[in-house]
Structure 1
Amino acid sequence: MYRLALVIGFWLSFSALANSLQVVSELPKIDGKKDPFIATLAKHKFAQKYDFDNTFCEVPDVSYYVGYHHSGLYIAIETSDDSVRYHKRGFLYGDGFKVMVGPSTATSRAAEFIELAFSPTNINSDKPQEKYISSYNGDGRARKLSSLTQVAAGTTEHGTFFESLISWQDVYPYQPVFDGKLNLNIYFAKGLTSLNGERVTKGFSIVHDEGIWDEAIAYRLLRPFELEADTDSVKYHPNFKFNNRTQVTGNPISIKLASTAKRDEYSWGIKHKSGEFIQNTSVTWQKHDSATLQTVGLEPGVYQLELCLRNKCVINEFALLPEFDIEAETSQLLAKEALDNGLRNRLLFQLEGITSQILGLKPYEISGQLIDDILSLKTELSSLRSGKSISPHLTKPHRRAFRSRLDGSLQPYSIKLPENFDPEKKYPLMVFLHGSGIDDLSQLNASRSDGSFIEIAPSGRDKFYAYAYYQSEIDINEAIDDVSSHFLIDQHNIFISGFSMGGYGALLTYYRNPEKFSGVAVFAGHPNLANEWLGKADFPNFLKTDSLEKFRDKPVFIYHGEADPALDIKLMQQFSAKLESIGANVTTSFVPERGHVYQDTETHRRFSEWLQGNLAR
């Protein structure tokens, strides 16, 4: 009985330790080397392992550590492999990892979460992709991490070591000091060698969650880690969060504190996001753990609230929105009968977008872009009211909208006009389709033609379905019709192109409307994506000859990286050969050592030459 009690006691203590978020009292040094405090943290084994139908010459041992420091979440992964394999998308193809953080839920499924991607690298050109937020509340839109979040990888006498200190500011509002736990998952991708010598990946995770690599899944599965019992490191650090992080100017913002010091021990200060200090900070205490920040006199914008305690300071941002009567502005726009219809639709779509953003804003969220959008739109609407004209010929990338004949809704597309745009001149048109998990926003920040085209990026009413369904075709065609009704478009020189999923979408759109387009360009695409993704075989497969006849004598440009781990280059090489066999005019750029990324400078130069060489004169 005594022995059984010992066993049960050991199991209970081990189980508690396995679920514990242990406190790290010293600031971790993130350099890919093991700090002495590692010996105090529990070493965990990943519960889930993934082969992805690969075979491996050898599989290393892989373990992980998690720890709480008042400045951030400490994550470390240790393997018995003797070398780090660097890859721009190491979090998917090795060596790299993802960390998912979110709220506690009854089912462990979190629709609200922050997903961080880490691909440690020693290649300077890959440094911008070394760390970033890869998805926020399921939107799949990349965001930068602050310099406070660090990542590194290195070798040790026992193998390889990956570590990161994730600033609590970067995963706001998920701070375990407030509710005693943190809900997270870690996925580690190890690059290995297969039995036939190919580079392959083996995956490891705490909790099984296909959403880690399937961007169409809009939730994440998380496991709770209980914060270790209070220590002075936690108790006397000035942690705080806002109960409502965004307010309209003039309204108060409530604050919750985690530390238990006396009121007169705290000092407060407000700064502009630029760092400029504002003197008249006004904080009213409610209870020992809550206070109210007064915002009267502050202009719209993003600010920093600094709280200091015993020479330790914490900064969190908050936002103040301008006052804006959306209903009144919408009514006035609709009443202006003489207003250009294209301008009206753009402004109405912006009003709809601002309304949607405000209604969808979570209590813990801020959006400097939303503030800028409101202020910019208020300026335009004020100009309209005063009788000033608004130019429809913005040369920087921006969004327009059309009233869709499909359902009467306002649908967006992005547009970029050439520099020195002349409204009396006719221009060729480049239609560019976005990849999976995103939309048209920011697609035209880089050049998609040679600078002499009007460029548009339709939304396509699609993020994950390879433009296979007809609402995507309708949206693309309506975007082309709308830009043609407001700008002088050379209808004999319209080209369709796209990246990744958009590459298949470009092929499919051309296939369904061959008379509309002068040529098609595929960047890092796939010739049979819809059938593979959607589990069907009734969409065009461009590896089959009967789907290629419409490409005869037509110019086709194909770019693909030979090291693309996402979409196999071999399929595009087969596609290219089949196109040539039926008489298409194919130009290819297959680039060694290049992954699933946009085209390189030399490919873009060749693409520009291809465009000019295939313009109808």
Structure 2
Amino acid sequence: MNKIFHLSSDEVAEVSKHPSHAWDLYPATKIDLWEIPQLQTDKNNLWDVEFIPCYTSQYFCVLVRIDQTGLESKDRAYQNGGGFVFQLAQPRTDNELTDVFTVFGASPLEKREELQWTRLFVYYKDIDLAFTKVEDGEVVIETDDNYTYMLVMAPWHYAEPLGPFLTKKIGFTIIVPQPIEAEYPCQYYSLIPGWKTMAEQELRDYVVYELEEPEPPSSGLEIEFSLGSKHYRQGVPGVVRLAVNSSYTDGIDVTIGLGEKDLAAKNFDLSEGLNTFSVEFDTGLLDTGRTQLQLNLSTSEGAYSHQLELLIIDDERISKIREKVSRLSQEGSDDMMRRESLVTLEWLLESLYSELDSLKPHQEPQQIENLITRLDEGLRRVESGESLFIKGERLRLGLRSKQDSTLQPYSLYIPPTFEEGKSGLIVLLHGSATDDERTLEKAEPLEKYDKTRMIIVAPLARGESHYYLPDEAIQEIVEITEKMMEMFSVPKKKVVLVGFSMGGFGVLNTFFHRPDLYHNLVLLSGSMKAYEEMEVVKDFTTEESLRQLAKTNLIIFHGSEDLNVRYEELKPVHERLKELNPDIEIHIAEGVGHRQPPEWQEKMIEIFERIDRYA
């Protein structure tokens, strides 16, 4: 069985100062080159890549050694060179693909201030993109005459439900990218060949690793605890699991309390080394809503206390909400805004039940609380004769798709300065591995768009990876555009289609689907080709496509160091567009990779103001 090695306190101190010393302590695993048939490889300059996985009571640690010196952090180093990604998954008993995992991205060599968060971050959490900075992790770099060593220490709490003592096995994998001179400028060393580790909305494969039994601590106790679930229905038995790594033999008293009242009390024998226990409690004694419990442990050597927070789901409240939404939907309305507000209530209710069905025990129930609050507030507004289309607030609403009658979300911002029949509409398409909600969050503060007077609407792309390639995704963009134009009397000449990265491809795909509807196009680091299985399936760089694009009001933004949508490949395309139409605006940010620097937003606001004023 593959091992994840336990680091003693002395070993942690040594390895965190000199990562190279780990190669004197533990055997390393070599990672082979993943040969992708559709891509070039550079076998004349292969790297020798090794890793060692280990852990402490606080951290999961990955050490990587590369037989290179002078390594640099490329744009998105975790994808393109100078970093790596690794995955901690909960293995299934049948070792099949799992949906419980955390993928970490690491760019240890990154020096740019604005990208320091990429030195260590949560890339994916349980199939969903996270892009969450690891605030309390550690990253250490060491070089000698032959090698670069990288140590990443990720706190266990980012990898829930996995932990240092209660977890016995972990589904692990790692990918290390190497930059090369080729059309696709990267090759990969991977424990498991395949893209799943870096793909959104995908189950994950893994290699099973066993955590080495820890040595007893030099003194005191090391304690790990875990609620059986962070959310319960009232009356379902609750459970707390405990692991105690002890330096001594004793008895241990465990109580779970609510205020002055004990819900459970147990006594266990404590032996030197690792001990595991579980304690049940009655959730029927708890009120619905958020509850704080006290976990108390005591031995002859001392006492320990920890807070436990859980949600007791209020099924009666949810049932009443459902009855109200059903009644209002049956009543219907001739007013378009009220009718669309009712659709949003239906979408919120469907989302709530979907969340209740799919939420895993280790996942935070915050979204359930948010949806209930939104439904209560939405019902209050609709019942009092108001709509959910509120000016000056970032909104997430629901659409009943004409294509298949499914309920689909979209995000919306209506500036207080908007004038019906006069102001314009920005249709904002998100990039891959994100969604409509995060896209508007990233644009905040939205008040800076108030001077444009334009509504911003952001659809959620359809498909497994929220991709703007399927026809239904394009048709839905058109449907939302036309719905906003009708509802708010937006002139067609003041509609702007904007997209970043994959969303930039969505701009082109939507335009060529409905060139009569869209004239103002903005590409932000936008791809002009679509790929499936590394093969081009749509190409908007053909002469015919460029001639049609040259007739639009096209504005392009791109970074000179972009490796995900390579600027060098697009440069001749940009030059040809300028030949066809010198009025096309092309803004190249020198030294910028696949991201949006702040000055782009400022420039776009100027462009939107110009369209609103003169179109």
TM-score with structure 2 length normalisation? 0.84
Specify the alignment match of 2:441 in structure 1: 445
Query: Does the Cα contact within 8 Å between 2:69 and 2:143 map onto a contact in 1?
Result: yes
Matches within 5 A, 1:141-290: 141-145=130-134, 147-156=135-144, 159-175=147-163, 177-191=165-179, 194=181, 200-213=185-198, 215=199, 218-229=202-213, 231-233=215-217, 236-248=221-233, 253-259=238-244, 265-266=252-253, 279-280=259-260, 282-285=262-265, 289-290=277-278
User: SS at 1:173's partner residue?
Assistant: coil
Aligned positions of 1:406-417 closer than 5 A: 406-417=403-414
Q: What's the offset of the Cα at 1:255?
A: 1.4
Local SS of the residue matching 2:441: coil
Distance verdict in 2 for CA 1:563–1:249, change over 3 Å: farther
1:138 has 2:139 as partner:
no
Does the residue aligned with 1:334 lie in a helix, a strand or coil?
A: helix
Which residue does 2:395 correspond to in 1?
Answer: 398
| Cα distance change, pair 131–280 in 1 and its aligned pair in 2 (3 A) | farther
Q: Which segment drifts farther, 511-520 or 82-91?
A: 82-91
Say if 1:48 and 1:207, in contact at 8 Å, map to a contact too: no
Higher mean displacement: 323-332 or 453-462:
323-332
Distance of 2:250 and 2:341 partners within structure 1:
54
Provide, for residues 244-290 of structure 1, a one-character-per-residue CA deviation record: whole Å limited to 9, x for no partner.
221246865311223388996356688xxxxxxx8447441478522
Report the AA paired with residue 429 of structure 1.
L
Most deviating of 392-401 and 514-523: 392-401
Aligned 1:425-464 pairs, distance under 5 A: 426-447=422-443, 451-462=452-463, 464=465
Distance 1:312 1:258 in 2: 13
Q: Secondary structure at the match of 1:484?
A: helix
Question: In 2 relative to 1, CA 303–443 (structure 1 residues): closer, same or farther, beyond 3 Å?
Answer: farther
C-alpha displacement of 1:425: 6.1
Q: Distance in 2 between matches of 1:38 and 1:216?
A: 33
Deviations 1:103-137 (A, max 9, x none): 22324532332111111233322122322221122
2:607 to 604, 607, 610: 610
> Structure 1 residues 483 and 58, CA, compared in 2 at 3 Å: closer, same or farther?
same
Conserved in 2, the CA contact under 8 Å of 1:67 and 1:74? yes
The reply to whether residue 22 of structure 1 matches residue 5 of structure 2 is yes
Shift of 1:443: 1.2
CA deviations 1:563-591 (Å, max 9, x no partner) are 11111113332222232333373100111
Displacement after TM superposition at 1:433 (Å): 1.1
What's the counterpart of residue 102 of structure 2? 114
Q: 1:329 to 1:237 in 2, by over 3 A?
A: farther
Aligned pairs, number: 582
Q: How far 1:417 moved relative to its partner?
A: 1.4
- 1:40–1:358 CA distance, 2 compared to 1 (3 A): farther
Which deviates more, 518-527 or 550-559? 550-559
How far apart, in 2, do the equivalents of 1:202 and 1:315 lie? 46
Query: Corresponding residue for 1:292?
Result: 280
Aligned partners of 2:129 and 2:433 also within 8 Å: yes
TM-score by length of 1: 0.84
The answer to whether the 8 A contact 2:34-2:188 is kept is yes
**Structure 1 residue matching 2:436: 3-state secondary structure:** coil
Deviations for 1:583-613, whole angstroms, at most 9, x for unmatched residues? 3731001112111112x23333333333344
Whole-angstrom distance in 2 between the partners of 1:381 and 1:30: 60
Name the aligned partner's letter for residue 442 of structure 1: R
1:402 touches 1:412 (CA, 8 Å); kept in 2? yes
Q: Which amino acid aligns with 2:577?
A: L
Once the two structures are overlaid, the 10-residue window that deviates more, 356-365 or 456-465, is 456-465
**Alpha-carbon distance change, 423 to 526 in structure 1, aligned in 2, over 3 angstroms:** closer
| Aligned match for 1:550, one of 548, 551, 554 | 548
Q: Aligned partners of 2:564, 2:509: CA distance in 1, in Å?
A: 20
Query: Per the alignment, do residues 21 and 433 of structure 1 end up closer, same or farther by CA in structure 2, a change over 3 Å counting?
Result: same
What amino acid sits opposite 2:97 in the alignment? R
**What residue is the counterpart of 1:104 in the other structure?**
91
Q: CA deviation at 1:455?
A: 0.7
Tell me the amino acid that sits aligned with residue 64 of structure 1. Answer: F
| Gapped regions of structure 1 (runs ≥ 5) | 1-15, 271-277
Q: Give the Cα separation in 1 of the matches to 2:505 and 2:394.
A: 24
Distance (Å, rounded) in 1 between the aligned partners of 2:425 and 2:264: 58
Name the CA shift for 1:228/1:473 in 2 (closer, same or farther; >3 Å).
Answer: closer
Structure 1 241/525 Cα, relative in aligned 2: closer, same or farther at 3 Å?
same
CA drift at 1:435 = 1.5
Query: Aligned residues: percent identity?
Result: 18
Summarize the alignment of residues 359-370 of structure 1 with structure 2, pairs less than 5 Å apart. 359-370=357-368
Equivalent position of 1:327 in the other structure: 322
Task: Write the deviation string for residues 422-474 of structure 1: whole angstroms up to 9, x where unpaired.
Answer: 56563200111112233322211244967431011112324648523321221
CA drift at 1:508: 1.7
SS of 1:352 mapped into structure 2: helix
Letter in 1 for 2:159: V
Task: After TM superposition, give the deviation of residue 529 of structure 1 in Å.
Answer: 2.1
The corresponding residue for 1:502 is 503
> Following TM superposition, by how much is the alpha carbon of 1:523 offset from its aligned partner in structure 2, in angstroms?
0.9
CA RMSD of aligned residues (A): 3.5
After superposition, the Cα gap between the structure-2 partners of 1:144 and 1:559, relative to the gap in structure 1 and judged at 3 Å, is same
Q: Distance in 1 between matches of 2:536 and 2:194?
A: 24
Q: Cα distance 1:216–1:525, how it changes in 2: closer, same or farther (>3 A)?
A: same
Check conservation: 2:429, 2:500, Cα contact below 8 A: yes
* Partner deviation per Cα, 1:392-421 (whole Å, 9 max, x = no partner): 224222222222221122222111112x24
Amino acid at match of 1:33: K
Q: CA contact under 8 A between 2:90 and 2:169: conserved in structure 1?
A: no
Q: Unaligned stretches of 5+ in structure 2?
A: 269-276
Residues 142 and 603 of structure 1: is their aligned pair in 2 closer, same or farther, counting only changes over 3 Å?
A: closer
Q: CA deviation at 1:44?
A: 1.4
Q: Which residue of 2 aligns with 1:8?
A: none
1:494–1:518 Cα contact (<8 Å) kept? yes
Counterpart CA distance in 1 for 2:267 and 2:394 is: 49
**Residues in 1 aligned to 2:14 and 2:567: alpha-carbon distance in whole angstroms:** 37
- TM-superposition CA deviations, 1:69-118 (whole Å, max 9, x none): 11221211123322342245221112112121112232453233211111
Give the distance between the partners of 1:312 and 1:80, measured in 2 at CA. 46
Q: Shift in Å at residue 535 of structure 1?
A: 3.7
Residue 79 (structure 2) pairs with residue 83 (structure 1): no
3-state DSSP class of the match of 1:237? strand
Alpha-carbon contact 1:239-1:314 (below 8 Å) kept: no
The letter for the 2-side match of 1:474 is: Q
**In structure 1, C-alpha distance between the alignment counterparts of 2:291 and 2:552, rounded to whole Å:** 52
- Residues 252 and 267 of structure 2 are in contact (CA less than 8 Å); yes or no, is this contact kept in structure 1? no
Q: Which moved more, 1:326-335 or 1:510-519?
A: 326-335
Q: Would the aligned equivalents of 2:255 and 2:265 in 1 still touch at CA under 8 Å?
A: no
Quick one: which amino acid aligns to residue 488 of structure 1? S
> Which amino acid in the other structure matches residue 332 of structure 1?
R
Verify the 8 A CA contact 1:60 1:79 in the aligned structure 2: yes
Letter of the structure 2 residue corresponding to residue 132 of structure 1: F
Report the secondary structure of 2:60's partner residue: strand
